[in-house]
Structure 1
Amino acid sequence: MLMKRHNPSPRGRLPARPPADSSARGGRGGAEPPPASPPGDARPRGGRPAGHRRVPHTADLRIEAWGPTRERCLAEAVRGLVSSFADTAGVRPRRTVAVELPPGPAEDALVTVLEEVIYRLEVDGEITLDAEVAEPPGGGPVARLTVGDAAEATGVGAAPKAVSLHGLRFDRDAEGWSCTVTIDV
């Protein structure tokens, strides 16, 4: 792994991380995405805000992500994966990579995009800094991953090894989309 490990020092550049069952991105502890918006809440029509969180899991990493659209939920799952093992604040974007996702079940697209993030980290030494997913007219979904040099990132957790199919879930409800995935570390 090319990433430098976080080494606490008096000048420590990383702020304290929240516990694994809370979210700095709008979630709350527990196993469910945030509840429906209260009346009068200024959220986009048709859904919950987007976000992600880590959920405690024996020996592996479990990520929950949610968003008002399938595409936004996929992008949040990528952000959740990367934030679980790296602080990318000082990493310069190197390029944007387009990844064609399989048409069909949302679970297939989720596994494909997360495996691509892991592959690029392990083989190319590139860390994903941002993700956007879109489904152009007449084509299948495409993930655009902005990547940088993994050596510039600071490690904050175990690097991912693979996406597990056990307990994989990607569902739509009245508020939007949510997914749950286990990552082997």
Structure 2
Amino acid sequence: MFEVLEHTADIGLRAWGETKEALFENAAIGMVSLAVDIADVEPRIAYPIAASGTDLDSLLVNWLSEVLYYLDAQHVVLRKFHVEQITAQNIVGQAWGEPRDPARHRPKLIIKGVTYHQLRIAEQPESWCAEVFLDI
């Protein structure tokens, strides 16, 4: 689950998950949903995603940056995510999607990068929540 957060020069999203893994999966879905309508994406090819960082904040920024790399550099749109493992300094998972088809995958926003601006990750009594802003 995620929601869009308004900001003057950027756009943000707030994501939730019952676990840290679900939080990272939902944040990725939220970010991709801002860039393209994921309803048109067929999750037919698996792509590995891994990132490292020094803490949970940098893990989230680097995870989302890897997802953005697929979108921008590899021209792949992703729809489904599964985090296999999160440690103190690494995250490993998979995403499913397909090569971008300009006729079917029309861009909504061009996301330039994932920022640390107002980044927050919090464990709540029964879930995790994160707020992250994206440079557009």
TM-score range, shorter chain: 0.7 to 0.9
> How many pairs were matched up?
133
8 A Cα contact 1:94 1:147, kept in partner: yes
TM-score by length of 2: 0.86
8 A Cα contact 1:97 1:146, kept in partner: yes
1:82 corresponds to which letter in structure 2? V
Shift of 1:62: 0.5
Q: Which structure: larger Rg?
A: 1
What corresponds to 2:74 in structure 1? 124
Looking at structure 2, the residues matched to 184 and 132 of structure 1 have their Cα atoms a distance apart, in angstroms, of 25
Looking at structure 2, the residues matched to 114 and 68 of structure 1 have their Cα atoms a distance apart, in angstroms, of 19
Shift of 1:94: 4.5
Q: Which has the higher contact order (CA 8 A, sep 6+)?
A: 2
What corresponds to 1:165 in structure 2? 116
Q: Please list every run of 5 or more consecutive structure 2 residues that lacks an aligned counterpart in the other structure.
A: none
RMSD: 2.1
The secondary structure found in structure 1 opposite 2:21 is helix
2:105 is aligned with 1:153: yes
Shift of 1:136: 7.7
Q: Please list every run of 5 or more consecutive structure 1 residues that lacks an aligned counterpart in the other structure.
A: 1-50
2:13 corresponds to which letter in structure 1? I
Question: Going by fraction, where is helix more abundant, 1 or 2?
Answer: 2
TM-score by length of 1: 0.65
* Structure 1 runs (4+) greater than 3 angstroms displaced: none
The secondary structure found in structure 2 opposite 1:117 is helix
Shift of 1:103: 6.1
2:28 is aligned with 1:83: no
Question: Alpha-carbon deviations, 1:83-140, whole Å to 9, x = none?
Answer: 1121122333342112223265221221111101111111111111111112289x94
8 A Cα contact 2:21 2:86, kept in partner: no
